[in-house]
Amino acid sequence: MRRAWFLALLAALPFPLAAPALAWDATGHMLVAAIAYDRLTPAARARADALLRRNPDYESWTAGLPPSGRARAAFLQAATWPDDIKGRQGYDPRSEDPATPAATRITGYADRREHREWHFVDIPFSPDGLPVQGPPRSNAQVMITTARGVLAAADRTADARSYSLVWLLHLVGDIHQPLHAAERVTARHPKGDRGGNDVPVCTETCGHRLHSVWDEALGRNLPLDAILAKARALPAAPAASVARMDPAAWARESHALARDVVYAPPVRADGQPSQLTEAYMQRAEAVAASQAALAGARLASLLNAALK
């Protein structure tokens, strides 16, 4: 029934849609990818689709879709692949030793590590003046730079370039989520709060974590028509901001938003659940929307350059 509904929707709209993805926070990543896809050059779209065909999930991404809809479908769903493999049979959740070159090496789909450490660059800060340590060597900022280089390199294998592409589709979204670029060090969390994952909060109900609230600020499990409508409706990111193409600058921007907005009152630092107000949630949604628009535009610029 769900597939029949989706195909009917696909046929009724004047542009191709993607098939539904089931990753728990797929909405935000697919929204960023949708924004980027519409800004790609025709040549970059064609080269991206050719590379994505090498992903082991390509057939499932495009099953049942007409040829005209497959490229967009694969592009949007590829943005969720680094999350989709978490916990999947045959993938190893253990991280490489961050002190070794293997921690940041890209070889291709034969690499069966989940690389969970690649998803964030948790730059620590302490409002109490406690000592902090920098993020590990293998992080989102480093891997965006690494994957961009591999994708643009004509002498690298198509497999390694395809693997780099799916990670770029995901990581550019991740690094624009403020809590993927910060963690707070306090007396309660002297080793850091893991990007807000250890901060309990209440919205309509309690039992949530600050990180998950921000992961879902763009929506959760939205239907595909809603994702594409939202991508089209978001105001365009300022050109001057889009032009800043340094991943280190992206991390600093997200870190500043975390300090100034994410951890602002009513978020507590004593370990007790924080009751998030309607005003806080509205600001979170506005910041998330702005960051998604910026991430999508920057992702498109990155891919247009790497795939030219």
Q: Place 5 in a pLDDT band, splitting at 50, 70 and 90.
A: very low
Tell me, what's the pLDDT at 36? 98
Tell me, what's the pLDDT at 221? 85
Tell me, what's the pLDDT at 16? 36
Tens digit of pLDDT for each residue in 276-298?
A: 999 999 999 999 999 999 999 99
- Cα(163)–Cα(68) distance, rounded to whole angstroms? 24
Tell me, what's the pLDDT at 136? 85
b/e burial code for range 174-189 (CB count within 10 A of at least 16 → b): bbbbbbbbbbbbbeeb
Give me the mean pLDDT over the 58-87 stretch. Answer: 95
Tens digit of pLDDT for each residue in 76-107?
A: 999 999 999 999 999 999 988 888 888 999 99
Tell me, what's the pLDDT at 20? 34
* pLDDT exceeds cutoff 90 at 7: no
Q: Could you give the domains of the chain?
A: 2-306 (1.10.575.10)
Cβ–Cβ under 8 Å, residues 266 and 2: no
